[in-house]
A and B are shown apart, each in its own frame.
Chain A
């Protein structure tokens, strides 16, 4: 490690100060809290070792998140090998759940409701509890793909490559995730009177 600590070198205390943020980020990707903890730990270690490489061009958080993304992808790849994405039973029941949202002629069985001004909910801490609960209910493999897309902002081609699935498969899973999350939010939050 470089001995000089100029203003552009990331300070250990500042790095450590981002732990809570990084952990929340990791836990959205990795269901297993121990894995999320590991990924964050690896990130903090890598950041401390490479503190001199932090150029100060981006914010410390952006830099750390960039490192964390790679650590998370490593974990997801490992998980993908140990527990492949083709869980047949899971896949069938999920497909059925999504099919059940539409009638045989392709109409919604129940139309998505008008949510009014949903952004107001973003300021309500109880909404975030419901949101987390809904996100947790997504089947593991669907959630993995969805969070890579939405939280890590990965293009679908990259997700396909990382998990060795086809683009079509990827789109199907993303769509299911959105339908499922939408359904849950409407049930848990937006459909309730007085919210």
Chain B
């Protein structure tokens, strides 16, 4: 079953904190194929992590 946006957002976030199961990864991919909003969210999560690292490490 393809998860909705709310659940997809949770999985994307948890993907930054724990390894997702193969089933979770598959469901995530199916949703992302269809959803621009969640694809944007996914990129934004990665960007925020980069920004936080940069904030921490910059001189």
> A residues within 8 Å of B by Cβ?
21, 24-25, 28, 102, 105-108, 111-115, 118-119, 121-122, 128, 131-132, 149-151, 156, 167, 170-171, 174-175, 178-179, 181-182, 185
Task: Tell me whether A102 and B5 are in contact (CB under 8 A).
Answer: yes
Q: How far is A24 from B43 in the complex, measured between Cα atoms in Å?
A: 27
Interface size of B in residues (CB-CB distance below 8 Å): 30
One digit per residue, 1 when the CB lies within 8 angstroms of any chain A CB and 0 when it does not, for chain B 27-57 equals 0000000001110110111011111111110
Residues of B within 8 A of A118 (CB): 43-44, 47, 51
Task: Tell me whether A122 and B5 are in contact (CB under 8 A).
Answer: no
Task: Tell me whether A106 and B56 are in contact (CB under 8 A).
Answer: no
Q: Tell me the minimal C-beta distance from A83 to chain B in angstroms.
A: 24
Q: Known A102-B6, A175-B10; judge A156-B17 contact (CB<8 A).
A: yes
Task: Tell me whether A175 and B13 are in contact (CB under 8 A).
Answer: yes
Residues of B within 8 A of A107 (CB): 4-6
Residues of A within 8 A of B5 (CB): 102, 106-108
Task: Tell me whether B44 and A106 are in contact (CB under 8 A).
Answer: no
Q: How far is A122 from B36 in the complex, measured between Cα atoms in Å?
A: 24
Task: Tell me whether B47 and A106 are in contact (CB under 8 A).
Answer: no
Task: Tell me whether B40 and A21 are in contact (CB under 8 A).
Answer: no
Q: How far is A182 from B38 in the complex, measured between Cα atoms in Å?
A: 13
Task: Tell me whether B45 and A106 are in contact (CB under 8 A).
Answer: no
Known A112-B37, A132-B55, A151-B52; further 18 A-B contacts with Cβ < 8 A:
A21-B59, A105-B4, A107-B5, A111-B36, A112-B41, A115-B44, A118-B51, A119-B50, A121-B51, A122-B50, A122-B54, A150-B52, A171-B10, A171-B13, A171-B17, A171-B18, A174-B17, A178-B45
Q: Tell me the minimal C-beta distance from B59 to chain A in angstroms.
A: 7
